[in-house]
């Protein structure tokens, strides 16, 4: 049996190991520690009750800029053998609730490749995210990205667009897709906007490259592209 609970300092190695099980390289430990010290309310883990093994986690943060206070999903990962249990959705909902209750965040954001239909469907249909904008050549390989956002307050003024070729159901925020709920994703290989995330599809493959633009604590994955200048929003 697996339980979802707030992350603690002693969970950091397990969180890192969870991601390293899918990636040749990943964030340095101080990257996780930075999130835990800065936004402890937003980090959650999925723990196997008998072994106490960390089998999933969500890493998130709070930003405050000209758009007001808003949350951002940095990284979400669930081990392959623990998929199809709804753990990713539970982790996400815990941190979304905490963003609103603890920080009064107006909305939460993330980024996804336009070609990643599985991840797009998960976030739009299961979790209620909608397209806020399309960022051209956002990734290092020039692929576009959807800037997806979810309103957390009724008076939020987050604007939305519809995905090209998407049906109404694609962005309705309704329904349930249990078979898509266990995605692993981390900050992507991007023109780095701080803390952005690249959602990955059902197969446990990471196409992302953490960059030092998010935090000086991150490293790059093998085969990553050269760093790009920070993109102004």
Q: What is the pLDDT of residues 13-27, one digit of tens each?
A: 999 999 888 654 568
Contacts of 45 (CB under 8 A, 6+ apart): 4, 5, 6, 7, 11, 14, 15, 54, 56, 57, 91
> pLDDT tens-digit profile of 87-142?
989 999 999 999 999 999 999 998 888 998 877 887 899 999 999 999 999 877 89
Residue 39 has pLDDT above 90, yes or no: yes
Q: Which domains does the chain have, with CATH numbers?
A: 2-180 (3.40.630.30)
CA-closest candidate to residue 34, choices 56, 16, 53: 16
pTM: 0.69
Separation CA 108–CA 105 (nearest Å):
7
Separation CA 27–CA 217 (nearest Å):
7
> pLDDT tens-digit profile of 128-166?
999 999 999 987 789 998 999 999 986 555 555 555 554
Separation CA 23–CA 170 (nearest Å):
30
Q: What is the pLDDT of residue 80?
A: 86
The residue with tokens 């939305």 is: 160
């Amino acid at each position: 049996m697996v339980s979802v609970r707030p992350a603690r300092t002693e969970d950091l190695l397990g969180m890192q190991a969870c991601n390293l099980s899918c990636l040749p390289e990943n964030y340095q430990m101080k990257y996780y520690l930075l999130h835990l010290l800065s936004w402890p309310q937003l980090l959650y883990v999925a723990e196997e009750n008998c072994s106490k093994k960390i089998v999933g986690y969500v890493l998130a943060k709070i930003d405050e800029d000209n758009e007001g206070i808003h949350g951002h999903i940095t990284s979400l990962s669930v081990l392959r053998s623990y998929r199809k249990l709804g753990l990713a959705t539970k982790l996400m909902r815990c941190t979304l609730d905490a963003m609103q209750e603890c920080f009064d965040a107006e909305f939460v954001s993330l980024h996804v490749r336009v070609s990643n239909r599985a991840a797009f469907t998960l976030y739009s249909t299961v979790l209620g995210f909608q397209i806020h904008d399309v960022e051209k050549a956002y990734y290092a390989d020039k692929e576009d990205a959807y800037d997806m956002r979810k309103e957390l307050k009724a008076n939020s003024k987050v604007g939305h667009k519809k995905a090209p070729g998407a049906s109404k159901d694609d962005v309705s925020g309704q329904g349930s897709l249990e078979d898509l709920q266990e995605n692993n994703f981390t900050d992507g290989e991007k023109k780095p906007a701080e803390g952005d995330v690249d959602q990955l599809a059902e197969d446990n493959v990471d196409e992302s490259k953490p960059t030092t633009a998010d935090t000086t604590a991150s490293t790059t994955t093998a085969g990553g592209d050269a760093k790009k200048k920070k993109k102004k929003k």
